[in-house]
């Protein structure tokens, strides 16, 4: 698929690295075209479990590490407008729902995006992902139909394809795969295990599925009209 022209892209994800796995390639392609991107990252992934053995971090030092990783990842994607929203990992679903919708509304009002990238409700596995997706979808649903930006949802629950079919947006990102790899590596505290797994697989003759570095796939979220 070819990229549709965009005025401004708003990404809303709860954890540093969510964007790297799902959409770093797409973002890099748009940045190469000069499209402005705002990334609202709700938490600093404070509750990440990967501390290493021997440990490289503590529960208390992890957020600062992940803040630096996030900045580095944004550099790799070419994102100049990063917003760290100050929520705490694993608590997003317990926040006041209206407050979360308002937060997204305010971002939309400010940056006037033509495309929003977030998770797809009910198919994004982690409670923080689901809460983020619900807030974004609700904020856009409340907008007049003609003013709504397009919303791409990232879905990876085990039952996704069985229930909602294949993603309708498939972007070939092979021309920027080095940048995507760089973005993933920037989130070292979360992705080191993955790289290690891959090295193991290479040793066993089955390298990491190349698809991560070939395609990024999204579902265009539709809104029921009342």
Q: Which is nearer to another protein, 14 or 25 (CB)?
A: 14
> How does 150-186 read in b/e, with b if 16+ C-beta sit within 10 Å?
bbbbbbbbeebeeebeebebebebeebbebbbbbbbb
Binding mask 58-77 for another protein (x = CB under 8 A): xxxx----------------
Is the CB of residue 129 less than 8 Å from the CB of residue 14?
Answer: yes
Is the CB of residue 121 less than 8 Å from the CB of residue 137?
Answer: yes
What is the rounded CA–CA span in Å between residue 116 and residue 141? 13
First to last CA, the chain: 31
> How does 70-99 read in b/e, with b if 16+ C-beta sit within 10 Å?
bebbbebbbbeebbeeebbbbbbbeeeeee
Q: Which is nearer to another protein, 112 or 209 (CB)?
A: 209
Binding mask 88-107 for another protein (x = CB under 8 A): --x-----------------
- Part of the chain binding another protein (CB under 8 A), chosen from 105-113, 123-131, 141-149, 213-221: 123-131
Task: Please report how close the Cβ of residue 113 comes to another protein at its closest, in angstroms.
Answer: 28
What is the rounded CA–CA span in Å between residue 176 and residue 211? 13
* Side-chain-side CA neighbours of residue 178 (13 Å): 1
> Is 4 one of the binding residues for another protein (CB under 8 A)?
no
> Is 158 one of the binding residues for another protein (CB under 8 A)?
yes
Q: How many residues bind another protein (CB under 8 A)?
A: 20
Among 52, 110, 202, 223, binds another protein (CB under 8 A): 52
- Part of the chain binding another protein (CB under 8 A), chosen from 25-33, 110-118, 119-127, 210-218: 119-127
Tokens 């198919």 belong to which residue? 123
Binding mask 10-39 for another protein (x = CB under 8 A): ------------------------------
Q: Which residues of this chain interact with another protein, rule CB under 8 A? A: 47, 49-55, 58-61, 90, 125-128, 157-158, 193
């Amino acid at each position: 698929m070819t990229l549709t022209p965009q005025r401004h892209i708003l990404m809303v994800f709860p954890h540093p690295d969510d964007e790297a796995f799902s959409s770093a390639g797409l973002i890099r392609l748009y940045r190469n075209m000069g499209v402005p991107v705002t990334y609202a990252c709700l938490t600093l992934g404070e509750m990440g479990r990967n501390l290493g053995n021997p440990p490289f971090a503590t529960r208390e030092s992890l957020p600062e590490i992940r803040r630096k990783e996030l900045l580095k990842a944004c550099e790799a994607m070419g994102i100049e407008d990063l917003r760290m929203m100050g929520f705490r990992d694993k608590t997003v679903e317990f926040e006041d729902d209206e407050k979360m919708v308002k937060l997204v509304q305010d971002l939309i009002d400010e940056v006037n995006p033509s495309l929003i990238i977030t998770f797809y409700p009910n198919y994004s596995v982690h409670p923080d992902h689901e809460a983020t997706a619900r807030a974004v979808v609700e904020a856009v649903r409340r907008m007049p139909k003609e003013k709504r930006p397009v919303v791409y949802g990232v879905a990876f629950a085990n039952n996704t394809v069985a229930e909602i079919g294949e993603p309708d947006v498939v972007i070939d990102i092979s021309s920027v795969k080095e940048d995507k790899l760089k973005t993933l590596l920037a989130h070292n505290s979360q992705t080191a295990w993955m790289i290690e797994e891959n090295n193991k697989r290479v040793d066993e003759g089955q390298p990491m599925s190349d698809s991560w570095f070939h395609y990024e796939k999204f579902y265009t979220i539709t809104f029921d009209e009342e």
